[in-house]
Chain A
Amino acid sequence: MERKIILENNDIEGIRFLDVYRQNGGYQSVEKALKTMTPDEVVSEVKTSGLRGRGGAGFPTGLKWSFIDKKSNNPRYLVCNADESEPGTFKDRYLMERIPHRLLEGMICSSYALGANTAYIYVRGEYKYIVGILNEAIKECYKNGLLGKNILGSHYDLDIYVHCGAGAYICGEETALLESLEGKRGNPRLKPPFPAVKGLYDCPTVVNNVETLANIGWIVNHGGESFAKIGIGKSTGTKLISACGHINKPGVYEIELGFPVEEFLYSEAYCGGIKNGKELKAVIPGGSSVPILPKELILNTLKGEKRLLSYESLADGGFESGSMLGSGGFIVYDEDDCIVRNTYNFSRFYHHESCGQCSPCREGTSWMDSVLYRIENGNGRMKDIDLLVNIASHIEGNTICPLGDASAWPVAAAIRHFRNEFEFHVEHPDIVRNIKHGSILQYTNK
């Protein structure tokens, strides 16, 4: 069954513009929330919906909202996290490019629920053109009384501003994002205090992902209970999955949570199978930070159940034999992809992106990068493999922000499931040194 919430009406010509969006039912939720509901009622609907954060951690959104410090006299802020820089993830970009008003509609309802009169959208620097699209949409809203003072005659005021970053993966982490928004380096803060108590300018703040906020309009319109009926168990609603790697049809797909991984991979309506008729080797199901799973474990859990695209099913088996839904960045590897090279690539990425505040992360990512480089280039030693596991275990859980964990998990998982490839690299340096990794010829004339 196909179920569209976020990408509903996505195919309609001109849906990017306010008039078309409104003709197709857009902004009804704003009327409903601002005129017929109290802020607490909106929060309560979101709680009932079971909606969980789509930025990676999957934290219940309603619960997060209820932590906002109500005793504080400071202004409150809503910040939309549009930093999207987790490798393999490109869903927020697609959403903002196609239906920017879906996000704004959700933001107006959410700000109202939180009692915020100012909201920011933090867009990563590389998406500069998205800033233009969003500003255009915001301008339309101001013109039509959907933003600014006294929205739709409800006495509620809201301003939304777009803030553009300047290239730093770490600014996706919510506290680093707030630092960056304050005009500083993107160094994550120690928690607690959580942003709901001390966030932007030390005021109560909620940070939510683009996709999370895009769901709020639907929840207000149809009620939390209807939302909770979509999906499976505690994974309610739908999820945008951005599929990439060696598949026939890469792209962004909205699936109802609980959709089987196997069908998603092989069905013509989705990934369309592995490119060039090759065999599947492995999948990283939730962006580069989550553990990689080999073919057997991504299609079925260790218990032999079908693996589903949901928070619970993907995590089934813990890190021994499971992974995470994460951001929904679905990266597919075929039989010819080298797991060692790929692991090295991601280690380089985390080394580059570590903000350098905590020693385990700063030093650990650097060591993993160097050791993996040496193995990948045929200079590795057998004990390097265990050294990597050791370094990873010393980063995990010992850092200020989860980037440390995110750099350690992929390495540990790659060695857990593909140890033979690492051993092969150590045992056959001559072969490894002479491998040509991909050749541009296969990419021409496509």
Chain B
Amino acid sequence: MSDKQFKHKLYVKKNKEVSFTADTLAKIETVISHYPEGQQKSALIPVLQIAQEELGGSLNVDSMDYVAGLLHITPIEVYEVATFYSQFYLEPVGKYVIEVCQTGPCAICGGEDIMHYLEEKLHIKVGETTEDNLFSLKGVECLGACGSAPVMQVNTEFYEFLNIEKIDEIIATLRNTSELTKPESLSWKERLS
């Protein structure tokens, strides 16, 4: 069965060699040391996060098996966790993952329009990635920034009080620079102080 027909989230093992640099392995060692002896499984989520970052933004079976080996646990224990948490991507994603908040407080402040506008602008639907592999668009639940709705997150950066101009600006900058831009500073935090 080819990958395309096999519509399960977990793709078939490709038997590609996975390995981490010494630096990354050291980082993982530190994480494991945060938990008591014999409880190295606690490090699973942080280690998967590191793995995902190292491996271009998403996980596959090979990388999950590798992580299982690092933590001395069975592969199924890793799949279980990787399929549960929404921030682990089991299919390749673009360089920038745009996550638009869809939940109540954002929705009443224009969150739905933000999503539609991004779909039109990037010529993709929610859940898809642009052809140049630059952007993936996702709908997510409350990001804990409802006071500055509507909100979206690009990789780890929050962008708040969104409107059309701001989105145009953000997308343009992301297209032109290799670095993630810092969000502009006017947000509810600054306004309060």
Q: Count contacts on B: residues with CB < 8 A to the other chain.
A: 59
| Partner pick for B113 among A169, A337, A443, CB 8 A cutoff | A443
Distance of A23 Cα from B110 Cα, bound (Å): 43
Closest approach, in angstroms, between the C-beta of A244 and any C-beta of chain B?
A: 4
Which parts of A284-333 form the interface with B (CB within 8 Å)?
288, 329, 331, 333
Q: Report chain A residues within 8 Å CB of B103.
A: 87, 288, 345-346, 349
Closest to B38 in A: A201
Distance of A98 Cα from B71 Cα, bound (Å): 35
Distance of A438 Cα from B162 Cα, bound (Å): 14
A182-B142 in contact (CB<8A): no
Closest to A126 in B: B143
Closest to A341 in B: B107
Closest to A438 in B: B110
Chain A 406-427, CB-CB to B under 8 Å as 1, else 0, gives: 0000000000000000000000
A166-B85 in contact (CB<8A): yes
A88-B142 in contact (CB<8A): yes
A443-B110 in contact (CB<8A): yes
Distance of A190 Cα from B112 Cα, bound (Å): 37
Q: Is the interface of A mostly helix, strand, loop or mixed?
A: mixed
Which parts of A341-378 form the interface with B (CB within 8 Å)?
341-342, 345-346, 349, 352-353
Q: Report chain A residues within 8 Å CB of B162.
A: 443
A337-B46 in contact (CB<8A): no
| Partner pick for A245 among B36, B88, B109, CB 8 A cutoff | B109
A90-B144 in contact (CB<8A): yes
B45-A440 in contact (CB<8A): no
| Partner pick for B45 among A98, A164, A352, CB 8 A cutoff | A164
A186 within 8 A of B: yes
Chain B 108-129, CB-CB to A under 8 Å as 1, else 0, gives: 1110111011000000000000
Q: Report chain B residues within 8 Å CB of A118.
A: 36
Q: Report chain B residues within 8 Å CB of A329.
A: 146
| Partner pick for B146 among A90, A180, A440, CB 8 A cutoff | A90
Closest to B110 in A: A443
Distance of A446 Cα from B45 Cα, bound (Å): 39
A87-B42 in contact (CB<8A): no
Distance of A90 Cα from B193 Cα, bound (Å): 16
Q: Report chain B residues within 8 Å CB of A128.
A: 156
Q: Report chain A residues within 8 Å CB of B93.
A: none
B172 within 8 A of A: no
B43 within 8 A of A: yes
Distance of A98 Cα from B116 Cα, bound (Å): 34
Given A166-B87, A246-B108, do A446 and B147 touch, yes or no (CB 8 Å)? Answer: no
Chain A 75-95, CB-CB to B under 8 Å as 1, else 0, gives: 100000000111111101110
Closest to B114 in A: A440
B86-A167 in contact (CB<8A): yes
Q: Count contacts on A: residues with CB < 8 A to the other chain.
A: 68
Distance of A397 Cα from B182 Cα, bound (Å): 45
Q: Report chain B residues within 8 Å CB of A182.
A: 39, 41-42
| Partner pick for B84 among A10, A168, A201, A245, CB 8 A cutoff | A168
A276 within 8 A of B: no
B156-A129 in contact (CB<8A): yes
Which of B34, B39, B77, B105 has its CB near the most chain A CB atoms (within 10 A)?
B105
Distance of A444 Cα from B163 Cα, bound (Å): 5
Distance of A244 Cα from B113 Cα, bound (Å): 18
Closest approach, in angstroms, between the C-beta of A352 and any C-beta of chain B?
A: 6
Which parts of A378-434 form the interface with B (CB within 8 Å)?
none
Distance of A97 Cα from B146 Cα, bound (Å): 16
A443-B84 in contact (CB<8A): no
| Chain B residues proximal to chain A, CB less than 8 Å | 34, 36, 39, 41-46, 48-49, 71, 73, 77, 80-81, 84-88, 102-105, 107-110, 112-114, 116-117, 140-150, 153, 156-158, 161-165, 188-189, 191-193
What 3 A-B pairs have minimum CB-CB distances, sorted nearest first?
A183-B44, A166-B85, A167-B87
Known: A88-B142, A93-B145, A345-B104. 17 other contacts (CB 8 A): A86-B142, A92-B144, A97-B189, A125-B49, A126-B153, A163-B34, A183-B44, A183-B71, A183-B77, A185-B80, A244-B105, A252-B188, A288-B104, A342-B104, A438-B108, A438-B112, A440-B164
